[in-house]
Each structure stands twice: as structure tokens, then as C-alpha cells.
A and B are shown apart, each in its own frame.
Chain A
Amino acid sequence: MSSSPPRPASTLRALLYALLLFVLGDVAVFRSGLYAWLAKPESSGGWLTKRTLLAPPPIAAGDVASVLLLGDSRIGEAIDEHALRERLGAPPVAVVQAALPGSSPRVWAQVFDRLPQPPDGFSLVVLGLHDYDDDSGFEDQQRRMQDLAYLGPGLGPTDAFALAADLRCDTNPHAVRDVWLATLLKSFAWRRDVQDLAADPYTRYREVRRQFGRLRWAAPYPGNPGSLAAVYVDGEAIRGLPANASDVDRAVLRHLVFHERDVDNTAYRRRWLGELADRVRASGAELVVVRLPLQVLPRAKPRVPSTAVVDELAQRPGVHVLPYELLSPAEAPEFFFDALHANRDGRALCTRLLADQLLARFAGRLGRPR
């Protein structure tokens, strides 16, 4: 091996090359969308990115209007997009199911712009909220680091300021740093997915191969036949849960029935639901807000919901808040398969109630005679 010393300042040049190569690699593999082909199909980032980048547009020729269903897994389980399309009748209306499992208003607002849009934009965007109550929920949504899993792969540098300022998190002191890194470096945003790929490449290969040619927008919500019909409140206890009920189900049910006050998410919801309303409005669509079935069992002590944000939304042009009790008929144990999600019967009921409401209130937007 030669012992000749390197040329002066060659290390600085090597570092510059390293940075350049690193950025080029990041752009070529991750930012370009190349990696999206390998991403885990049902992971948060993979699910969204594959659909925004790789799935065919969800609108068929001949559809006179289009409805986008937006929200978390609860709207995915509660509304069957095929049944809704059928119930809306002729002329055909495209119904696009964009339920993002485990997502939150911040994700919906950020993601809306990246969804594949019909040429004339969506006619209606139906947003499923788990409750109109700003105090209802199980967590401080402002601190949800999981949001980065959805948003990271698609965020651009211009999003970083707003998101970094907004996403404060006591449990992760590096939240702001992570937002910046995820927006600037797509390799960082995809790192969990890459680690999962490295841990079991063969399983990933099979998953990815299985989805080739079958990628579509709809989330895989076939309707769950399970039921909590036997569940009841006995004094301070909740009984009759199925044997396979998880600890999470038990905790959520107790929370729904006995917990009096949850986390106040008013400011957060005002910010991100407002942002979503703005973006929907700018796209030319109308925003329809619907409260999804929530109370598997009635609260032990009824309370008056704090509906400030939804009330404000209702005042905005182009925003329609459907009645609080619209889907309440599905708030009974027999319509849930777990503590959060509607089962197959609940799904059929919710879909029918929503379709009827849409037809009654938005016939014009849906291409029907008024």
C-alpha cells in the first residue's frame, strides 16, 4: 500500500463528495418514488405513498360526480364505498375510500392535496369524525408522532416549518428534529420501512409481489362479522366481552363509559380541521362532516359535548355538518366488532343512513335533478 499522503484539503473534498452522493442517493432511491415500489404495502407510509404515486385514478369514465371518504379506520369500517355507490344509484357516482388507519386531522389536511383528484375535483369530501366533541378522544392529538409515519415520505421542505412548529411532543424530545429530517431526507422518512425490509426481505418480497397490478385506492375494509352484542354494563364493570377481546378494547370501553372528561383538543382541531376545510374549499369540493358511531355503550353520566370547532366549521361556506345523531342508530353493541369500529351490520346501516342523507342534501352536487 502506498504511503503517499493525501493531497491538501482532500478530506474536505471527500466530505463534500460524501454529502453530494448521499443527497443524490436519497433523491434517486427515495424521493423519486423508486423505493415506494418496495415499501410495505400496508404500512402507514407505504399505503399512502403507493396509492398517491402508483395507484390508477379512482374515477371511472361515466361517473357524473365523485365522493371522497376521508378519516381514520373508523370511516373505513363504517362506510362501504361500493354499497354507498350502489345506494346513490344512477347516474353513477365515484366513491373513493381514503380512510387512513390510525390517522388524525393533521394527516388528513396534509394528505388531501396529494390524493389523486378527478379532473374536475371531488364533488363532496365526506369527513368522518369520531365525535363532534373537542374534549372526546384518548390522547393529545397535537403530540402524535405517528403522524410522521404518514406524512414523512410525502412532506416537502416547505411543510417543515408549519409541522415542526405544530408537532410538539413531550415523550420525544427530538420531534422537531425528526420533522426536519423527514422533510429534507426521504431516507430518514423511510428508515423504519427499510429496517423492516432488512429484517425479513422474503416476506416483504411476497407482500410486494402480491400487490402488483392490484393496487387500488380503497383501503381493505371488507366488513367485520364480529359483534359485541353480549356486552353490558354491570355497576362499575363491563361484562360480556368476547373471549378474544383485547386489553385495548377493555380499556377503550371503560373509557367511553366511565371517563368524564378527555383531553382538550380544541386548538388542535381548530387548526387542522380548519386547514382541511380551506384546502377542500380551494379544490372546489364541498366538505361534509359526519359524526361516526362512537358509544358502544352509553356513558355512565351523560355530558354536553363541547362542539366549538364543529360549530365554527358549520359557519364556513362550503362546509356542511350533518346532524349529531345521524348515525346514532348504529351506536349499540350489536353494531360493533370491537370497541372502536362498526361491524358488518353497523357498516350496512351507516352506509345506508349516509347515502340517504347525501341524496337528500346534495342531489345537485351529485349530478341528480334537485
Chain B
Amino acid sequence: MNFHSFEFFAFLLLVLGLHHVLPRPHRRWLLLAASYWFYGAWDWRFLGLILLSTTLDWWLALRIEDERTPALRRRWIVLSVVANLGILGVFKYTDFFLAGFCALTGADPNDWLLHIVLPPGISFFTFQSMSYTIDVYRGHVLARRSFADFALFVAFFPQLVAGPIVKANEFFPGYDSWQPPRDRDLQRAVTLVLVGLVQKTVFADNLAPIVDAWFGTASAEGLMHTSPGFLPALTAVVAFGLQIFFDFAGYSNLAIGAALLFGYHFPINFRRPYLAANVAEFWHRWHISLSTWLREYLYIPLGGNRHGPFRTQRNLMLTMLLGGLWHGASMNFVAWGFLHGLYLAVHRQWRARVVPRLGERLVASAPYRLASWLLTLAAVGVAWVFFRARSFADARFVLGELLAPQSLGASVLSTAWLLVIAGALLFARWLDAGTLEERFHDASPFRRGLVFAGLLFVLVLFAATDATGAFLYFQF
């Protein structure tokens, strides 16, 4: 049940209606039942898995909290981390490591690979659930005595399948002091949902054919022998950069908006990332819930920047490598993470060693900021090649066309207009749901109705006509 489907909106309205009429004590049971039904609609076989993961972390968190001996508390948290990573490893990485083993030993992959089906949203709910036990261990949150409370935290359907990854101290305060959504919340929710739908169905889905036509056919056996040229390769990379942003930001806005309709406030997940002037800033704007998770539960525990430059660079690299691997069991994702780790390390060195010598005036000047922004876009774009390409050979080929092109390539005018429009809107403040909501929050209902009607028209008229694609991040 995709978020941008009629089925989902029928489901959402039904659950909202029931949530509105049910007495307060029964509402959590309704949301829990709806969440499990939603998850089961993807694949009912994995309901057992999410229940197992939930039960385990709920019980372990209680043990951690009840245990007074630090060594035993540590034992329970280690068990939780191992169990969560174990579940993730079995379902997501078994074949990846078996394939590596086969490549090293020459064993026949047909004899070894298990072809395990990836449960939807496993990377998200595992990280969310694991962060809870870690927070209980650190004393940042109290363990929930009620299993239903914790189960709802893990499985709440708006953010179950593809985030945002919500931490316990972001979820439970609002849950415990739940208030019906105020008018302001409803307005923000409607804006987020409409903008999210436009981002997904109008932009991401219309960009998808351009990306698929190029990346889908680029392969070592195919386009390696032809030379499509610089412009088509650039078009494809730019299109993918925009597609994945609109796809995931659209999903996140839908998820946050849907949760807000029930009165639950989730943190924003994207803040105009392509306006970042360096890669560190990019990661403060892109998939914020994941980057926050990685910082708090991986980078800082590894030592963060507290043990000198070498350890800091190592920690950055490790964090980004694992962040890449989190996206999928493929060396392409590892390479993507490696590149971002490298960018962050270089940026840190630049900031520490070069920037002080350049002087504040130069660093604050418009040409410097423009150059920084363009360099950041280029670096992020190069990394996207690895993220999207089907293999290293494909990625090498695309990068070859970009960095050492044989020709300029055929005209891309037919698709350029779409990219121009998408890009312009991307950078325009209007497309940002938060800005849109801010601009109109105190406007008259009629003016706000005018904006909503405009978004509806854009949706109906310009949504991709033949798209059936799920959200890209559902595969992670």
C-alpha cells in the first residue's frame, strides 16, 4: 500500500475517523492494529519478525532499567544491539557476504546464495527500536512498562516503512501528553501531505523515466561500447539527484503530515539539502533523522572528534561507510558512503587548515559561497552515480562520460525543460512545505484554500500518467 495510492488515503481516512470517535484509552489499540494491518498489507509473513524485534527490545529495555549492576546492564544492551544487528544482518546482508565469500573462494553462488526476501522497512524499524534500548541504557528515557506503548512506537504506520527514524524522546513526550491536533497542526499536516504528493507524483515519478532510460540501460555489456556523451550523462545524474530528493522528501512529508493528522509531531527530515554550501551542511539537511541517528549512536560512541584528527577522520569514514551499507547490501552503497566519508574528512581539514588562512572576508564573499555550493553539488552528484548505478562497471562508465567525455552527446532538450522546471522549483522556497505553511499560516481560509486548490490542480494535471513506482526508500 503505497503512500500516494488511493488505498492508503482511504485507509488513512478510515483510521482517522475511528481515532476521532473512539474513547481515548482505545486509541492506541486502534493505531497499533492499523499499523500492523498496514505492515501486513505489504507482506503478512513479516508481521512475526516485527513482533519478535519489538518484544525483544521491550523486554531487554526493562531488564536494562531494572538491573542495578553496570556489567549486567551492559550485557543486556550488548544483547539488544547484537540481536537487532543480527536480524538486520540475516535479512539484509547474508547474501551480500555469501556473494563476497563466493567471489573470494570461487564457490558457485548458486550453491550458496539464500535469496532472502527483504522485509519492508527493516532498516528503519530496527534502528528505531535499537535506539530506544540504547537510550534506556544511557538513562535518556525511561523504559516503557506497557508493551502496547512500545509496540506503537516501533510500528506507527506513518513512519514504519521508510522513516523518519523517530527517537523515543521525540515520540513518547507527545504520546504521553497527547492532545488533539490543533488547527495549526491540521493546516501544517494538509500542506505537508499535498506538497509530499506533488513532490512524489509530479516530480519524482516524471523524472524516473529519464533516469531509468539512462541508468537502466547503462551496463558493461551495453553502453560501455557506445559513447552517449557528456550532456546525456549529466542529465541522468542531475535527474537522479532530483528524483531521489523529491521521492524521499515527498515520502517524508507525507509521513510527517499523516502522523500530524493524528496529533503526533515528528521532526522534519529534509531542509533544502541542495542549497548546502558544503558536505557537512548537506548532512544536516539530508535525511536528517538518519544522519542524527548515525551521529548519536555511531559517530559519538566511536569517539567523535574527541581523540585527535586521525581518530576523528577514522570515525567519520566508519560512520559513513556503515551509513552507506545501511542503504543496501551492495558495494555501490559502500562506495557512496566512502565518498561521503572522504568528503567530510576533506571538508574538516579544509575548514581547520585552509579557511583560517583565506580570511573571513573571502569566505563570506558571494563568489566563494557560489563556488562552495557548486563544488558541493558536484561532489554529491558524483556520489549519486554509485548510489544509482547497478554495478561498479556502470558507475565507472557514467563517471567516465562526466569527467572525460568522448563527445558532448546528443541534444537533451526534450528532457531539459523538465529538469529546469524541477530544479527551479526545488530551489524555490515555495516548494518547501515548511516555508509554504509559514507563509500562509495566518492567511484567510479562502487564501489558504486557493493554495490547496492550486496544489490539487498541479497534482491532477501533472502527476506522472504511467507511474506505478513505489518510493525508492522502501527498498532500504
Contacts and interface: CB of A to CB of B under 8 A. Distances in A.
B309 interface: no
Interface stretch (A17-25, A126-134, A359-367): A17-25
A9 B187 CA distance: 9
A142 B341 CA distance: 55
A185 B183 contact: no
A244 interface: no
B169 interface: no
A18 B449 contact: yes
A14 interface: yes
B460 A14 contact: no
B449 A16 contact: yes
A115 interface: no
Interface in B417-476: 417-418, 438, 441-442, 445-446, 448-453, 456-457, 460-463, 465, 468
A22 B465 contact: no
A5 B461 contact: no
Interface in A218-272: none
Interface stretch (A103-111, A194-202, A289-297): A194-202
B184 interface: yes
A114 interface: no
The A interface is mostly helix, strand or loop, or mixed, namely: helix
A362 to B, nearest CB: 44
Contacts of A194: 461-462
B445 A13 contact: yes
A191 interface: yes
Given A11-B186, A11-B448, A16-B449, A6 B442 contact: yes
A150 interface: no
A8 B465 CA distance: 38
The listed residue with most A CB atoms (<10 A of its CB), out of B442, B460, B463, is B460
A191 B452 contact: no
A14 B453 CA distance: 9
B452 to A, nearest CB: 3
Nearest to B188: A11
Contact of B442 (A2, A8, A188, A191): A2
B192 to A, nearest CB: 12
Nearest to B418: A199
A14 B461 contact: no
A61 interface: no
B6 interface: yes
A19 B453 CA distance: 7
Given A1-B438, A5-B184, A9-B183, A20 B461 contact: no
Given A22-B453, A25-B457, A177-B6, A14 B187 contact: yes
B442 to A, nearest CB: 5
B462 A11 contact: no
A7 interface: yes
B197 interface: no
A17 B183 contact: no
B190 interface: yes
A192 interface: yes
Contacts of A2: 442
A295 to B, nearest CB: 34
Contacts of A199: 414, 417-418
Nearest to B189: A11
B462 A17 contact: no
A162 interface: no
B460 A187 contact: yes
Given A15-B452, A191-B465, A6 B187 contact: yes
A364 B452 CA distance: 61
B465 A192 contact: yes
Given A10-B445, A22-B456, A177-B6, A195 B450 contact: no
Contacts of A10: 183, 187, 445, 448
A3 interface: yes
B449 A17 contact: yes
Contact of A14 (B414, B418, B448): B448
A18 B461 contact: no
A4 interface: yes
Interface string B17-61: 000000000000000000000000000000000000000000000
Contacts of B190: 11, 14-15
Nearest to A187: B460
Given A1-B442, A11-B186, A199-B417, A25 B463 contact: no
B187 A11 contact: yes
Contacts of B460: 185, 187-188, 191
Nearest to A24: B453
Given A5-B184, A6-B183, A15-B449, A191 B438 contact: no
Given A6-B184, A12-B186, A22 B6 contact: no
A3 B461 contact: no
Contact of A8 (B183, B414, B451, B462): B183
A57 B22 CA distance: 61
B453 A11 contact: no
A8 B183 CA distance: 6
A185 B418 CA distance: 25
Given A191-B465, A192-B465, A195-B462, A5 B183 contact: yes
Contacts of A198: 462
Given A10-B445, A11-B190, A18 B452 contact: yes
A194 B202 CA distance: 13
A196 to B, nearest CB: 10
Nearest to A177: B6
Contacts of B456: 18, 22
Interface string A332-355: 000000000000000000000000
A164 to B, nearest CB: 14
Name, among A5, A14, A191, the residue most crowded by chain B CB atoms within 10 Å (CB to CB).
A14
Contacts of A14: 187, 190, 445-446, 448-449, 452
A177 B10 CA distance: 13
Contact of B463 (A12, A190, A191): A191
B463 A22 contact: no
Nearest to A7: B183
A14 B190 CA distance: 10
Contacts of A18: 448-453, 456
A203 B239 CA distance: 25
B465 A3 contact: no
Nearest to B453: A21
A111 B462 CA distance: 27
Please give me the 4 A-B residue pairs with the lowest Cβ-Cβ distance, nearest first. A17-B449, A18-B452, A14-B448, A21-B453
Given A17-B446, A18-B452, A18-B453, 13 more contacts: A5-B184, A6-B183, A6-B442, A7-B445, A9-B183, A11-B445, A21-B449, A21-B450, A185-B460, A187-B457, A191-B461, A191-B465, A192-B465
11 contacts: A5-B182, A6-B183, A10-B445, A14-B446, A17-B448, A21-B449, A174-B6, A185-B460, A190-B461, A191-B465, A195-B462
Interface of B: 6, 182-184, 186-187, 190, 414, 417-418, 438, 441-442, 445-446, 448-453, 456-457, 460-463, 465, 468
